[in-house]
Amino acid sequence: MLQPKKTRFRRSQKGRMKGNAQRGNQLAFGSFGIKTLESKWITGRQIEAARVAVTRYMQRQGQIWIRIFPDKPITKKPAEVRMGKGKGNPEGFVAPVTPGRIIIEVEGVSYDIAKEALRLAAQKLPVVTKFVVARDYDPTQNV
């Protein structure tokens, strides 16, 4: 499961996710990708499930880049505990994403394979996504 090796603070505040992604909002490595259309926290388990779905469908051809990393600690209080008595214990890590953020990129496979692989990955994620293609993608040159 994805999580940081070391964190500066054990617990973090919730914060707000308003506006669109200012960075990580364009394809940087691959020819195809999925871009989120809404704000949400994505857990390490969800990212891993999406990665497995893509690699299984692509059958070890091409290359994949995961553009988000869960580095925000999330806390939970135990069930049936009264209010107060401080913040709960860290339960896992999430990656906050805002609209426009590229989540996964793919390179080295045909358009059809990439589209289906990323569709399967998008089903594993809690956000509405959109399939994006690089501007300079040339369908004749690849596979």
114, 29, 1, 73: CA torsion to nearest 10: -130
Q: What is the mean predicted confidence (pLDDT) over 8-30? A: 93
* Through-space distance between the first and last CA atoms of the chain, rounded to whole angstroms: 32
CA proximity to 136, closest of 62, 61, 26: 26
Q: Please state the rounded mean pLDDT for residues 10-19.
A: 92
Question: What domains are there in the chain, each with its CATH number?
Answer: 42-77+87-133 (3.90.1170.10)
- pLDDT at residue number 136: 83
Q: Is the pLDDT of residue 1 over 80?
A: no
Distance of CA 96 to the CA centre of its chain: 9
> pLDDT (tens digit, 9 = 90+) per residue, 51-62?
999 999 999 899
pLDDT tens digit sequence for 65-80 = 999 999 999 999 999 9
* E strand or H helix at 111: helix 111-123
> What pLDDT is recorded for position 143?
54
Q: What is the pTM of this model?
A: 0.89
Give the CA dihedral 41, 46, 50, 52, nearest 10 degrees.
150
> Residue 142's pLDDT is what?
59
- Tens digit of each residue's pLDDT (9 = 90 or more) over 96-143: 999 999 999 999 999 999 999 999 999 999 999 999 999 888 777 755
CB within 8 Å of 61: residues ≥ 6 apart: 108, 109, 113
**pLDDT of 17 over the 80 cut:** yes
Find all residues with CB under 8 Å of 34, minimum gap 6, and list them. 102, 103, 104, 118, 121, 122, 129, 130, 131, 132
